[in-house]
Amino acid sequence: MLHRLLIENYRSLRSVSIELVQLTVITGPNGSGKSNRYQALGLRQAAANGRFKQALLEEGGMPSALWAGPRRKGPARMRLALTLDDLSYELIAGLAPSTRTGMSSVTICTIV
């Protein structure tokens, strides 16, 4: 069973940690990030199934998936982590700082 979901720097969610029970209901006004929580869980599931790249492209690419607010200096990264009964998974993905050519490279790192 899934016990905890952590989302950082994903779309409109700067930092959210959700403790889950057998039935968890998320409510809130429009624009509060309910759909983004659900999408983050789906993105993490896609990564577990080897479909992260495809799922990310379907979301509009890395720039679309990253935190939509003001950015800090340094690499832009999102973090999706979850805790199951006896396992924890963490996915960190983002854009590396611009290179001398002016192009950004994509950095994807999965930590198990």
Per-residue model confidence as pLDDT tens digits over 56-95: 999 899 988 998 888 777 778 999 999 999 899 899 998 8
- In this structure, which amino acid lies at residue 88? S
By the 10 Å C-beta count (0-12 exposed, 13-18 middle, 19+ buried), 40 is classed as buried
Q: Which residues form the domain of 95? A: 4-111
Question: 82 with 88: CB under 8 angstroms?
Answer: yes
10-20 tens-digit pLDDT: 999 999 999 99
CA dihedral (70, 73, 78, 83) positive or negative: negative
Q: Is the pTM higher than 0.85?
A: no
Total structural domains in the chain? 1
